Chains A and B, each alone.
Chain A
Amino acid sequence: MTDIQRYSYDVVVIGAGGSGLRAAIEARLAGKRTAIISKSLFGKAHTVMAEGGAAAAMGNVNPADNWQVHFRDTMRGGKFLNSWRMAELHAKEAPDRVWELEAWGALFDRTKEGKISQRNFGGHEYPRLAHVGDRTGLEMIRTLQQKVVALQQEDAINLGDPEARVKVFAETTITRLIVENGRMAGAFGYQRETGGFVLFEAPAVIIATGGIGKTFKVTSNSWEYTGDGHALALLAGARLLNMEFVQFHPTGMVWPPSVKGILVTESVRGDGGVLRNSEGKRFMFDYVPDVFRAQYAETEEEADRWYDDQANNRRPPELLPRDEVARSINSEVKAGRGSPHGGVFLDIASRLPAEEILRRLPSMHHQFKQLADVDITAEPMEVGPTCHYVMGGIEVDPDTQAAAIPGLFSVGESSGGMHGSNRLGGNSLSDLVVFGRRAGLYAAEYVDATERPAVSDAAIESAVAEALAPFERTGGESPYAVHADLQQTMNDLVGIIRREHEMEAALKELVTLRERAAKVSVTGGRAYNPGWHLALDLRNMLVVAEAIATAALERQESRGGHTREDYPAMSPEWRQVNLICSLDDDGRIKLTRQPLPPMRDDLLALFERSELKKYMTDAELVSLPAGDSAQEGNH
């Protein structure tokens, strides 16, 4: 094993998106030698694509906002299946994390008083998203990237080596976690440029690898989103939580075919854009579900007044949580009232002056102009649902982000719990920095309290053999063909509306795809060979796909990002159940049910009993603390 480069670190962070970078910064601030590993170049992680903003109840635009309101919105958005502790920490700490970004150089858009401006978004009661036009993710990643650089500059001056305590390993892919005697010992992978292998020995590993969208055909996600972290954790013996919840964003581009799925930011609706069907009707008024009836406008007039006067009007239904809007669009198209290319119309042109659209939504304007020949200041866009985000993820401790294996942590989209069954827009970017900081902090603490397990030769040998296998085989299928069929299967059979027989068919098909994947062979050498990379990613996507389909088949209700045609209602009994995936000895998904921990009384008291009634079982309601109904509903 001569061609393996070995490194030794205190903390290894897999992922250089918002959550990974924030975690690495915290670990380095705690004095730990930290490695940041990323499949693409530094500064290109998926976070760069986030558009709308980061949710934090700073109250800069509406002083009535506070963490309690944000907490309530998050729980409602997730249909009360969230880890309430994570939702609480998130709502409380998000403002500090956003202000911290500003102190590190981020330049958010401003209010008239010179504070950070905040915009409206679906499911958020008040304007809450700190933003920079529609390129907030770029601002976040660049700021964190530049903070890493600032720390390296400090180390250059004080220690004579910029990489003394934090080093970025770009274009490096981790293919295995290494566990020795039940504890984390390191991570193994390859460098894209050379195809050479690398071994990171470290007692603490933080998975911050993002999502799984590339398992589906129509998606807003990039090639990086092959569910690596989810799969790495499962294969190492950790557990995944509620993988059935996949968010289909209501507004992806639908035309031309080559851009199908690319995101159209929710800010378009937050800033006044409305959805219409082929008859010109603002159809969302017809789709307000009972649980949200009290908070949403019933007429166009009221909805339009809301933008200027939120105290006396209710929100437009276009700003319902994403799962609701996506399903409504789906229904309109199915009923034959769709746009020419199978979507619906999103109209901002008739709602705002052209120059205002250009100021607020410059990259949307650019995107449509360049890619679809549509001028959004003059014509409506055509949009439809696209696979966007996975709420399910690695099961972690809500305070420390620690996973089931000592020394393993996870944060960001790869971790589960925070968003329940549906994530509110803007709650991811804030999630990244809130829990990124926590993961870094607790990983550093863990390192102080543990000895370093050694990596065994056997572990390395089997990782090498697995990585080289696609070269050993000849005459097999191309990995691209298997990937395309997997995406089609998931799109058709485990998509936005789910049916029992389709999911069963999907699981059957996944078995075949697994067999095909085990036989793919690759051409070319080891240096920068995307065919080889994809062949290795297939393992991850397949195991994630199986987890999603298995959990989706099990959960017999509709909630958030999981809609069952055969079980269309939300069930209070199912709300008490978390579905946990682990791997059995044959590497197949094993499902267990686990009760949701009951919410703390002071948090329960933030809701009216009448609202809790819509979500909870009678038994739960009986045991509610007295006096909880003192809370006024506020609109």
Chain B
Amino acid sequence: MAYMANLRVWRGDHGEGKLVDYSVEVNEGEVVLDILHRLQATQANDLALRWNCKAGKCGSCSMEINGRPRLGCMTRMSIFDQDQVLTITPMRTFPVIRDLVTDVSFNYEKARQIPSFSPDPATKPGEFRMQQVDVQRSQEFRKCIECYLCQNVCHVIRDHEENMPAYAGPRFLMRVAELEMHPADMADRRNIAQDDFGLGYCNITKCCTEVCPEGIHITDNALIPLKERVVGRKYDPLVWLGGKITRKQHRDTPRVPGKH
């Protein structure tokens, strides 16, 4: 049942590197991460890759397998033909550190710009009352394991590095949507979603949704509803007028930390 798989793995650091051919044993039931571990233990001790849980829960083992963004630990070898060459490369959108490991600090910077959960200060811990139907929408987005595969695939930044400062990407626009739909959150992040996080760049191609290993409906349930809300806010005549007269942000729009 065991066979030898032909792998081409990207080896190198800081942008300089090449695809290296390996032949590695595969046994029944194994996933790509198992094969890479075997390669590491037997032929390439210093092969750099990230992983933690080996069960699709931590979002560490993101990579591109034959050009498709995937979790190595959730990709069964059995979905490939045995004689097919597997090309394994790091996520393309982020700078390579070494081999399959990329610098994902972009994502942590974006995470730090989104104004945090802002409950009513009068509600004390233990006093929150929320219905299951009301928390369910945000709960879907909180399934996110921060694998950044959606960030990696979104064409707004995949092919356009220059958009990175102005665009938070699907994962973090979804975080904005999550807070917007959180039943106990009081802040209004609609303007900043558009102005600071670049919601307008997204043209709902749904590529992000397609690669999400958690099966989150990023586009349909987060991005499109967020766009609708933003439109609602933008054309609310009172808000619009208020914004014009004072030239200030609406009072319940939080500051974007590090941006002002």
Set of chain A residues within 8 Å of B13, measured between Cβ atoms: 527-528
**Does A531 contact B139, Cβ atoms closer than 8 Å?**
no
Q: Does A40 contact B (CB under 8 A)?
A: yes
CB A216 to nearest CB in B, in angstroms, measures 15
Q: Does A87 contact B (CB under 8 A)?
A: no
Contact A370/B52 with A153-B112, A527-B13 known, Cβ cut-off 8 Å: no
Contact A142/B142 with A42-B108, A49-B58 known, Cβ cut-off 8 Å: yes
The A464-487 residues at the B interface (CB cut-off 8 A) are 478-481, 484
**Does A258 contact B40, Cβ atoms closer than 8 Å?**
no
Set of chain B residues within 8 Å of A481, measured between Cβ atoms: 41
The B30-62 residues at the A interface (CB cut-off 8 A) are 30-31, 34, 40-42, 45-60
Contact A114/B258 with A43-B146, A258-B27, A528-B101 known, Cβ cut-off 8 Å: no
Set of chain B residues within 8 Å of A142, measured between Cβ atoms: 142
**Does B139 contact A132, Cβ atoms closer than 8 Å?**
yes
**Does B51 contact A256, Cβ atoms closer than 8 Å?**
no
**Does B139 contact A107, Cβ atoms closer than 8 Å?**
yes
Q: Does B205 contact A (CB under 8 A)?
A: no
CB A61 to nearest CB in B, in angstroms, measures 14
- Report the bound CA distance from A259 to B55 in whole Å: 8
Set of chain A residues within 8 Å of B257, measured between Cβ atoms: 152-153, 156-157, 162
Q: Does B126 contact A (CB under 8 A)?
A: yes
Encode A486-528 as 1/0 by CB contact (under 8 A) with B.
Answer: 0000000000000000000000000000000000001111011
* Smallest CB gap from B51: residue in A: A223
Contact A149/B116 with A44-B58, A135-B143, A530-B48 known, Cβ cut-off 8 Å: yes
Contact A224/B52 with A110-B135, A530-B46 known, Cβ cut-off 8 Å: yes
Q: Does A347 contact B (CB under 8 A)?
A: no
Set of chain B residues within 8 Å of A193, measured between Cβ atoms: 97-98, 101, 103
**Does B255 contact A523, Cβ atoms closer than 8 Å?**
no
Size bracket, chain A contacts: 35 or more
Set of chain A residues within 8 Å of B125, measured between Cβ atoms: 96, 99-100, 102-103
The A225-278 residues at the B interface (CB cut-off 8 A) are 255-259, 262-263
Q: Does B186 contact A (CB under 8 A)?
A: no
* Smallest CB gap from A39: residue in B: B52
- Contact residue among A46, A103, A484 (Cβ-Cβ distance under 8 Å from B123): A103
**Does A531 contact B53, Cβ atoms closer than 8 Å?**
no
Set of chain A residues within 8 Å of B245, measured between Cβ atoms: none
Q: Does B246 contact A (CB under 8 A)?
A: no
Encode B238-260 as 1/0 by CB contact (under 8 A) with A.
Answer: 00000000000000000101100
Q: Does B24 contact A (CB under 8 A)?
A: no
CB A390 to nearest CB in B, in angstroms, measures 18
- Report the bound CA distance from A409 to B108 in whole Å: 28
Encode B110-145 as 1/0 by CB contact (under 8 A) with A.
Answer: 011001110100011110111110010011001101
**Does A527 contact B98, Cβ atoms closer than 8 Å?**
yes
Q: Does A66 contact B (CB under 8 A)?
A: no
Q: Does A41 contact B (CB under 8 A)?
A: yes
**Does B54 contact A262, Cβ atoms closer than 8 Å?**
yes
Size bracket, chain B contacts: 35 or more
**Does B143 contact A255, Cβ atoms closer than 8 Å?**
no
Q: Does B104 contact A (CB under 8 A)?
A: yes
- Report the bound CA distance from A114 to B126 in whole Å: 11
CB B29 to nearest CB in A, in angstroms, measures 2
- Report the bound CA distance from A109 to B133 in whole Å: 10
**Does B51 contact A110, Cβ atoms closer than 8 Å?**
no
Q: Does B76 contact A (CB under 8 A)?
A: yes
Set of chain A residues within 8 Å of B189, measured between Cβ atoms: none
**Does A223 contact B29, Cβ atoms closer than 8 Å?**
no
- Report the bound CA distance from A235 to B135 in whole Å: 47
Q: Does B74 contact A (CB under 8 A)?
A: yes
- Report the bound CA distance from A133 to B143 in whole Å: 10
Set of chain A residues within 8 Å of B97, measured between Cβ atoms: 193, 527-528
Set of chain B residues within 8 Å of A324, measured between Cβ atoms: none
Q: Does B28 contact A (CB under 8 A)?
A: yes
Q: Does A8 contact B (CB under 8 A)?
A: no
- Contact residue among B28, B56, B101, B116 (Cβ-Cβ distance under 8 Å from A366): B56
**Does B30 contact A256, Cβ atoms closer than 8 Å?**
yes
Q: Does A632 contact B (CB under 8 A)?
A: no
- Report the bound CA distance from A152 to B113 in whole Å: 10
- Contact residue among A41, A95, A371, A531 (Cβ-Cβ distance under 8 Å from B74): A371
Q: Does B190 contact A (CB under 8 A)?
A: no
- Report the bound CA distance from A151 to B141 in whole Å: 22
- Report the bound CA distance from A135 to B76 in whole Å: 22
**Does A530 contact B40, Cβ atoms closer than 8 Å?**
yes
- Report the bound CA distance from A114 to B53 in whole Å: 32
Contact A371/B46 with A153-B115, A256-B28, A363-B57 known, Cβ cut-off 8 Å: no
- Report the bound CA distance from A137 to B58 in whole Å: 10
Contact A135/B182 with A46-B52, A99-B125, A149-B112 known, Cβ cut-off 8 Å: no
Set of chain A residues within 8 Å of B98, measured between Cβ atoms: 193, 527-528
- Report the bound CA distance from A11 to B54 in whole Å: 32
- Report the bound CA distance from A525 to B13 in whole Å: 11
Set of chain B residues within 8 Å of A366, measured between Cβ atoms: 56
- Report the bound CA distance from A478 to B47 in whole Å: 13
CB A138 to nearest CB in B, in angstroms, measures 7
- Report the bound CA distance from A259 to B257 in whole Å: 42
**Does A258 contact B46, Cβ atoms closer than 8 Å?**
no
- Report the bound CA distance from A40 to B27 in whole Å: 28
* Smallest CB gap from A157: residue in B: B257
Q: Does B99 contact A (CB under 8 A)?
A: yes
Encode A77-104 as 1/0 by CB contact (under 8 A) with B.
Answer: 0000000000000000001100110111
- Report the bound CA distance from A15 to B101 in whole Å: 21
**Does A44 contact B45, Cβ atoms closer than 8 Å?**
no
- Report the bound CA distance from A96 to B13 in whole Å: 47
**Does B30 contact A102, Cβ atoms closer than 8 Å?**
no
Q: Does A629 contact B (CB under 8 A)?
A: no
Interface centre among B13, B54, B115 (most CB of A within 10 A): B54
**Does B52 contact A115, Cβ atoms closer than 8 Å?**
no
- Contact residue among B42, B76, B112 (Cβ-Cβ distance under 8 Å from A370): B76
**Does B29 contact A259, Cβ atoms closer than 8 Å?**
yes
- Contact residue among B40, B57, B179 (Cβ-Cβ distance under 8 Å from A49): B57
**Does B53 contact A530, Cβ atoms closer than 8 Å?**
no
Set of chain B residues within 8 Å of A525, measured between Cβ atoms: 46
- Report the bound CA distance from A367 to B59 in whole Å: 14
CB A145 to nearest CB in B, in angstroms, measures 8
- Contact residue among B28, B31, B40 (Cβ-Cβ distance under 8 Å from A371): B31
Q: Does A139 contact B (CB under 8 A)?
A: yes
**Does A222 contact B56, Cβ atoms closer than 8 Å?**
no
CB A418 to nearest CB in B, in angstroms, measures 23
**Does A150 contact B40, Cβ atoms closer than 8 Å?**
no
In order of increasing CB-CB distance, the 3 nearest A-B pairs are A256-B29, A524-B46, A531-B45
* 11 A–B contacts, CB within 8 A, in A order: A41-B60, A46-B52, A138-B57, A153-B258, A256-B28, A523-B45, A524-B46, A529-B45, A529-B48, A530-B46, A532-B46
19 more contacts with CB within 8 A, not counting A259-B54, A523-B46, are: A40-B52, A42-B108, A43-B146, A44-B146, A102-B128, A103-B125, A105-B185, A113-B129, A147-B116, A149-B116, A157-B255, A371-B29, A371-B55, A480-B42, A481-B41, A524-B46, A530-B47, A530-B48, A532-B46
Q: Which residues of B line the A interface, CB within 8 A? A: 13, 27-31, 34, 40-42, 45-60, 74, 76, 97-99, 101, 103-104, 108, 111-112, 115-117, 119, 123-126, 128-132, 135, 138-139, 142-143, 145-146, 179, 182, 185, 255, 257-258
